[in-house]
Amino acid sequence: MLRQCPFFAAVLLSFITLPIFAEQATPDETAPIDDTISVLPLEDLRVFTKAYDHIRNAYIDEIDDRTLLEYAIRGMLEQLDPHSAFLDESSFDDLQVHTKGEFGGLGIEVGMENGFVKVISPIDDTPAANGGVEAGDLIIKLDNLTVKGLTLNQAVDKMRGERGSEIILTIVREGVDQPFNITLERDIIKVRSVRSEIIEDDFGYIRIAQFQANTALDLEDEYQKLIEENSNLRGLVLDLRNNPGGVLQASVGVADLFLDSGMVVYTEGRLPDSNTEYKATPGDATNGTPLIVLINDGSASASEIVAGALQDHRRALVLGTRSFGKGSVQTVIPITDDRGVKITTARYYTPNGRSIQAQGIDPDIKVERVRVTAVKPRIAIKEADLSGHLKNTDGDEVSSLDDQVETELHNEDSQLYEALNILKGLDLFRRASTPAAEEH
């Protein structure tokens, strides 16, 4: 059999006669983990070469050895977990663009589940988010092409294209009886990592859509803008819902802004370099401003690191629904100048030692996102709405229109509404607990 396949015979001889070292590669160097010699099983290699030889000689179309070996590598990685993958030249470029925050396509963070593309999260202000794609959706067709049988990279390539071109996604959604189509127009995706606003009186809102290289710096800038707009901030909401994650160091930097000291996250793996602790530096940039973190099932990876760290240190209340549960570290290892592999090398743990993997972060206060209808008469008239009513001697009056504003926020975003109410309650409690002498 080996004589029928001389190329693979040479490869096999090199495997059998040389010790095999597991290596962790960086862009600049490779270094052996330890001195342990691992010999590949000869019988299993014979099985592999037999299968390889039959495919090489009998498959209906002729395929060169380089392509077949690449298929073999892809197959090995795809069987490990949903996040390990072979990276060709295009994938390397995509990885670089992704961390910088600009790429072409629909604006969906995806994974694979049972052979179909699963939406982890649509990215804010992209064709996917604006077109109605939701976290948890299963994409079963791209135009008329069935996704089953495609690799994740092949499916992603299919979703990308020229700006302005359209694609039809066939989606299966929990709670919907039949698959349905969504037509999206591709665009250049420029992800704004952080945005902020004053949502009511002295309460601020900061949204992180994705963790990029400069997210921690952007967050600090946005917080300063809030302070300049309102120097009397009494509470802050940090929105990490539908945030698919991103750069690990960015999540550490974000958590560090709210923590005065202590562990942010630590990782454990088989490689010595995979066992790492990340700690906060002294100083809370917000001076202990009451904080609520919003999460949901689209909050993954770096989002879960931040939520878990702030929860364990009791620096914030976490509100919403359980997060996605991606608690693993991927290392990109160059194999050649233009190809490499992305391998899961460690697991994340919160400061209290909780594993995020396949578990996620449970909120302190569980709140589903719902629409609420107030139980009251269709026409709500108050004294302040009556023509010619007596004026309040203090000069303060509240009409039914003010109630309508609150109801609108509740219906638009019930989780944010509840977070705001809790912050108001905390502020009232703090004021009530503060001696009158200290208030003057």
Query: What is the pLDDT at residue 387?
Result: 75
For residue 430, what are the CA distances in angstroms to 74, 96, 232, 290, 312?
Answer: 57, 46, 15, 10, 22
**Residues annotated as part of the active site:** 301, 312, 326
Q: From the CA atom positions of the chain, what is the Rg in Å?
A: 27
**Residue 129, pLDDT score:** 92
| pLDDT tens digits along 254-274 | 999 999 999 999 999 999 989
Greater pLDDT, 310 or 104 = 310
At residue 322 the predicted structure's pLDDT band, cuts being 50, 70 and 90, is: very high
Range in 80-94, 202-216, 379-393, 413-427 with the lowest mean pLDDT = 379-393
pLDDT digits (tens, 9 = 90+) for 421-433: 999 999 988 888 7
Give the model confidence (pLDDT) of 101-160 as tens digits: 556 789 888 888 888 999 988 888 899 999 999 989 999 999 989 999 888 878 988 998
Q: Is 86 exposed, middle or buried (0-12, 13-18, 19+ CB in 10 A)?
A: buried
pLDDT band at residue 241, thresholds of 50, 70 and 90? very high
Residue 434 has pLDDT above 80, yes or no: no
66 vs 88, which has greater pLDDT?
66
pLDDT at 23 over 50: no
Architecture of domain 102-190 in this structure: Roll (2.30)
383-399 pLDDT, tens digit each? 777 777 777 776 666 55
Q: Is 87 exposed, middle or buried (0-12, 13-18, 19+ CB in 10 A)?
A: buried
Instruction: State how beta strands 328-334 and 194-200 pair.
Output: unpaired
Residues whose CB is less than 8 angstroms from the CB of residue 282 and which lie 6 or more positions away in sequence, other chains included: 260, 261
